[in-house]
A and B are shown apart, each in its own frame.
Chain A
Amino acid sequence: MTKNDMFTYLLGVDGDIKFYRMGQLAAEKHTKYILQIEKKKDDIESALTEHLRINGAYWGLTTLDILGNLKAVEQEAVISWVMSCQHESGGFGGNIGHDPHLLYTLSAIQILSLFNKTQILNIPKVSTYISTLQNKDGSFSGDKWGEIDTRFSYLAICSLSLLKSLDKINVEKAVEYIISCKNLDGGFGCTPGAESHSGQIFCCVGALAITGCLHYVDKDLLGWWLCERQVKSGGLNGRPEKLPDVCYSWWVLSSLIMIDRVDWIDKEKLVKFILECQDFENGGISDRPDDAVDVFHTYFGVAGLSLLEYPGLKAIDPAYALPVDVINRLFLK
C-alpha cells in the first residue's frame, strides 16, 4: 500500500483517524527506520552514499537522540567505526579509507559529543588539522586541495568550539571573511558575491553565533529574506522561486531563531508541512509530501520540529545542531 492509498483508506474509513494519523509525529516508526538503515550496507543507496556515511551517521544518531532513543544503538561499535575513519593528519574521512575533509571531521566530533566521548580524541592533533586549513584572508579550505566556502568556516568554527580550541585559529579574521560574504539582500553565499542560500546562511549565522559576533548581522534585513522563504503550503524553500523542502525547516528556522526573528513565519503551518512529509508506513521523512524518504530529511524534519517545540522531543541547539543537553554537558561542566 502506498502512502497515498493509505491516506485514502484512512479517510474512507474515518476522516478523524486520518487527521489523527497525519496530525502527529510517528516517532516510533522513525526510530525503527533509522535503526534499520544503520544496519543496511549492501543496497544501492547505501553503496552510492558510502563516501559520506559519517554524515549519515550523525544525522541518524542525532535524530535518535532528539527522539529519546539513542540508547538503541551499539555505542561501542559506532565509536570504533568513527575512530577508524580518522587519518594520520587528524582529520576524518567520510568512511574508512576515504580522504579527510572538514565536512566529515565535524560529523565525527558531533557523534562523539552525542556519546560524551570527545575525550578519546587527540584534541591537539584534530584542532591542528583544522587550524592549518585557515587561509590568510580568514577563510577556510575544506581540505588540502583548497576549495573555499563559508560552509567550511562553520565546520571549522563549530568543530573547534566543541573541542574548546577556538584559540587555535584567528577568529577575528574568520569572522571578517564571513562578513565579506554578506549580500545586499541580507543573506550570505559561499564566497564573496555568491548568491544567498539558506544553507549558507545557516553556516554563516551559526559561525557568528558561536563566536559571539551576531551583531554584524542586519537582523531585520536577513529576517526579511528568510521569512520570504515560507510558501503557501507552509513549507520553506532555500532560495527564491524554489519548491519547499523539509531540509530548510532546519536551515531557515535555526537561522531565524539565532537572529530572534522566528515569529515572522507561520510556525503552525510549517509543523503541518513537516508532518505531511512523513512515511507513516515505514518511517522516515521526505523532502516534500509523497516523495521517497531518506535519513537526511528525516533528521532535518525532526530537528525542525524540535526547534518548533513539538511535544515529546528533546530541544536542539540552533547553532551547534546538537541536542541542548549535549551542549550543556560540554560547556557547563
Chain B
Amino acid sequence: MAKVINIQPITRIEGHAKVAITLDDAGNVADTKVHVQALRGFEKFCEGRPVEEMPRIVCHICGICPWAHHLASSKAGDACFGVTPPPAAVKIRRLMQNIAYIGDRILHFYFLAAPDFVIGPEADYAVRNVVGIIQAAPEIAKQVVKMRQMTANMLEHFAGRAIHPTLSLPGGVSKPMTETDRKEMLPLANELLEFSKFSMKFAKENVFPKYLDAIKTLGVIQVGYLGTVREDGTHDFYDGKLRLMKADGAYDDFTYEQYTDFIGEWVEPWSYQKFPYAKKWGKLNLSLEDPVGVYRTNCLARINVADKMATPLAQAELEEFRAAFGRPAHFTLLYHYARLIELLQCAEQAVELLNDPEITSKDIRVPLTPKAGRGVGCVEAPRGTLIHDYECDDQGLITKVNLIVGTTHNNAAINLSVNQAAKACIQGGKYDQGALNKVEMAIRAYDP
C-alpha cells in the first residue's frame, strides 16, 4: 500500500519546511519533496522605501545572518547612489561580517549539527539536542556559550545591535572606530581565533573520522557550485566576482550585474521557495540520476570555487582538505568540514582587520544625493551568495527589488540530497526514527 511519511517540522534548521516521502507498494521511495511553507514578500513591500533605509529593513529577512543582508543591501545602495565607501568603512563592514559569522559557525557546528555526531543520529530525540550536548560535554558547551556571547557583545558594543543592525548604510557606516574600541576588541578576536583553531582540531580528531562512512554516503550528489572570489581567485566573503563551477570543475566568472545571464529561478507548484538554476547548463532537471542546472552555495561551494583561502591557517586546512577529497569535493556532509575552515578564516581576518591602523580612520561615510539608478549588491552570507538588486527613482525611493538569497540557491540541491538519503535509508517499507533523522541530516548539512 503506497503511503506518505511526513517529517514535519524539519528541526534544527532555521525556517519552516517539511519533507514528504512517498513510498510505493513495495515500501520503497517513489518520491520526495521538501516543501518550504513560508513566504513574506520582501520584494514587493520594499517598493516605495528610501534606499538608505533598506539595509535596516532587509536584514530582517534572516535573524541568523542579518549582517549578510545588511551588507549586501548597503552595497546595492552604494551602487544606486553611485558612491564608493571610504576604505575604513569597508574594513569596519568586513570586521562586523567576520565577527557575526564566527558566532554563526560556532552555533551551527556545536548546537545544531553536533547532536547528530556527538550524541548519535539514532539516539532518542529527547537527548539528541543542545541540552544533550551540554550534559555530554559541559566544558566545551560552556566555552561555546562564552564564545557566542563574546561575538554578540563585540557587535553590540560597537554597532549597538548584534541582530538586525543599523551600522552600515549606503556610502559607508554610521560611526568610526576609535582606538579604544580597537584595543578592546583585538584581544577578544585573538581569543576567538584560539577557539576556532581548537574547533578545527577537535572536529578532525574526534568527530569526522567516526563518520567517514556517513560522509561518503549520506545525501551525496554531484552538482555545481556558486561562490564569490577576488580577481585572483581568492576566497572572499565581502566582495569580488561570482564564480559558477560545474560538477567537473570547469567554471564561468561574472560580475554582479550579469547575474541574470547565468542564474534563472524556476517555480514549482509545491513550494513557496523558488529553484535558482544555472541557465547556461540547460532547463532545470531535479532527477537524481541526471540533474541539470543544479548548483550549491554555502561554505562547501565557496571553498570549491576558490583557488585559495585568504588567510594562512585556513589555506593550510584547505590544502589538507583538497588532498583528501579533491576539487570540487562533492560529499554533502563535508559542508561541516568546510564550515570550520571558513570559521578559521573569519577569525584570522578579524584579527588582521583589528591590527590594521586604517580601520580607525574618521573618514567613514560619503554623503549621498538621491538620483535614479540601479544597484546590484552581493556578499557571501554564511548560507550562500546574496544577490540584492535594487532600482530607485530620482528621489532615491525603491521602485524594484529582486532578491536571491543564501539557502534559496540550495533549494534544488537540498531536494536532490533528500531524495538520495531517503532512498539509501528507507527500503522495503522498513524505517525508524533514526532513518528519518538521517534524511534530515542531509538537509542540516546545508544549514538552511
Q: Is A bound to B?
A: no
Q: Which residues of B contact A (CB under 8 A)?
A: none
Q: Which residues of A contact B (CB under 8 A)?
A: none
